[in-house]
């Protein structure tokens, strides 16, 4: 929605000129020609007429139906801020349409004591004018793929967390285990990895399925990647500690290998810090 509004605001003057030229070029018997107008211009969602007393006088005509149930209804609340220009045309600010749920705007043309209202799908308008790139089929396909992918990731995460809990419970009921420390760390690592994968699945689901933008901001992508890497580094750090403790208790001759592992984990942590520093410097301060 924000990208649509920003695209509209950037091109508002040109869009207003286009819409005013477009409306003046239509046949003036709007209601009689409504179906032809809607079929020819896909960004027009609805057409209806309101008299000078703000009572609806025509059916609400859309591509799928002609709804006569609202004839005679009071529309005055929609016209409280109406300010016609010299051509008796008014263009509203963008809003979310109550029927379609899409970003829309209304265009009103006053002719012969009648206000003719055109509800316009802003996404289709911007797309037809080549101001944004949007493909509904591709968008739906991508959402479906991300939905199943994130769902599977969430199931894997739940399985890892359940396995970690299972290992811990078994350990609690069999304290005579020969490798108590190893099992404790195995439970911690499994749960940590499960939480990391679940967080990744949640981020994908929220950003790609529930809330979808026309272009995914790099900042959001980096945040998802950064959170996942943090969880992985935490799990790797726990594994490193486990290895260090095991070597210290069993075979100190392998301590050099543990040291190398510790150095590798530290390098990853420093790299993640540099990654965040670079992203913060590259992100504009007024980005929102």
Task: Tell me the per-residue pLDDT of 240-274, one tens digit each, with 9 for 90 and over.
Answer: 777 777 777 777 777 888 788 888 888 888 888 88
pLDDT at residue 2 tops 70 = no
CB 75 within 8 A of CB 50: yes
Main-chain phi, psi angles of 134, to 5 degrees:
-150, 130
CB 239 within 8 A of CB 189: yes
What's the sign of the alpha-carbon dihedral 91, 94, 98, 99?
Answer: positive
**Cα–Cα separations (whole angstroms), residue 12 to 58, 102, 156, 286, 288:** 30, 18, 47, 22, 20
How many angstroms separate the CA atoms of 206 and 143, rounded? 11
CB atoms within 10 A of CB 58: 20
Name the 3-class secondary structure at 130.
coil
pLDDT digits (tens, 9 = 90+) for 96-126: 877 767 788 999 999 988 999 999 988 888 8
**Cα–Cα separations (whole angstroms), residue 218 to 5, 12, 131, 227:** 19, 26, 20, 14
Half-sphere exposure of 258 (CA within 13 A, CB side): 18
Categorize the per-residue pLDDT at 88 as very low, low, confident or very high, splitting at 50, 70 and 90.
very high
**What's the whole-model pTM score?**
0.50
pLDDT at residue 209 tops 90 = no
At 175 the pLDDT is: 59
Of 82-86, 178-182, 237-241, 247-251, the poorest mean pLDDT is in 178-182
Task: Judge residue 22's burial from the number of C-beta atoms within 10 Å of its C-beta, 0-12 exposed, 13-18 middle, 19 or more buried.
Answer: middle
At 146 the pLDDT is: 87
Closest listed residue to residue 117, CA positions, set 73, 147, 149, 161 = 73
Categorize the per-residue pLDDT at 214 as very low, low, confident or very high, splitting at 50, 70 and 90.
very low
- Looking at the chain, which residues constitute the CATH 3.30.450.20 domain(s)? 2-128
CB 194 within 8 A of CB 157: yes
How many angstroms separate the CA atoms of 49 and 56, rounded? 6
Q: What percent of the chain has pLDDT over 90?
A: 19
DSSP alpha helix (H) spans, the chain: 2-10, 12-24, 34-40, 122-128, 136-172, 180-204, 218-250, 255-282
At 286 the pLDDT is: 45
pLDDT at residue 48 tops 60 = yes
Task: Give 181-190's long-range contacts (Cβ < 8 A, gap of 24+).
Answer: 181/242, 181/245, 181/246, 181/249, 182/242, 182/246, 185/238, 185/239, 185/241, 185/242, 188/164, 188/238, 189/164, 189/235, 189/238, 189/239, 189/242, 190/160, 190/161, 190/163, 190/164
What is the third-level CATH fold of 2-128? Beta-Lactamase (3.30.450)
At 3 the pLDDT is: 65
- The two three-digit tokens of residue 160, written as one number: 């890892």
CB 183 within 8 A of CB 167: yes
């Amino acid at each position: 929605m924000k990208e649509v509004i920003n695209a509209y605001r950037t091109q508002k003057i040109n869009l207003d000129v286009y819409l005013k030229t477009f409306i003046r070029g239509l046949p003036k018997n709007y209601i009689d020609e409504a179906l032809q107008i809607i079929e020819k211009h896909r960004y027009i969602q609805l057409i209806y007429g309101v008299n000078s007393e703000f009572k609806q006088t025509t059916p609400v005509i859309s591509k799928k139906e002609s709804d006569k149930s609202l004839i005679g209804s009071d529309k005055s609340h929609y016209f409280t801020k109406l300010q016609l220009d010299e051509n008796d045309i008014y263009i509203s600010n963008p809003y979310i349409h109550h029927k379609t749920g899409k970003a829309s705007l209304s265009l009103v043309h006053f002719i012969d004591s009648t206000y003719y209202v055109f509800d316009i799908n802003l996404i289709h308008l911007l797309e037809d004018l080549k101001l944004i790139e949007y493909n509904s089929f591709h968008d739906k396909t991508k959402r479906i793929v991300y939905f199943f992918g994130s769902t599977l990731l969430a199931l894997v995460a739940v399985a890892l967390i359940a396995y970690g809990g299972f290992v811990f419970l078994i350990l609690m009921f069999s304290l005579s285990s020969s490798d108590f420390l190893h099992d404790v760390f195995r439970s911690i690592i499994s749960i940590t990895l499960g939480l990391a994968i679940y967080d990744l699945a949640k981020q994908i689901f929220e950003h790609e399925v529930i809330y979808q933008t026309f272009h995914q901001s790099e900042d959001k992508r980096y945040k998802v990647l950064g959170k996942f890497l943090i969880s992985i580094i935490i799990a790797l750090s726990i594994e490193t500690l486990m290895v260090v403790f095991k070597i210290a208790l069993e075979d100190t001759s392998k301590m050099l290998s543990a040291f190398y592992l510790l150095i590798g984990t530290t390098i990853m942590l420093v790299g993640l810090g540099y990654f965040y520093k670079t992203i913060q410097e590259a992100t504009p301060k007024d980005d929102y």
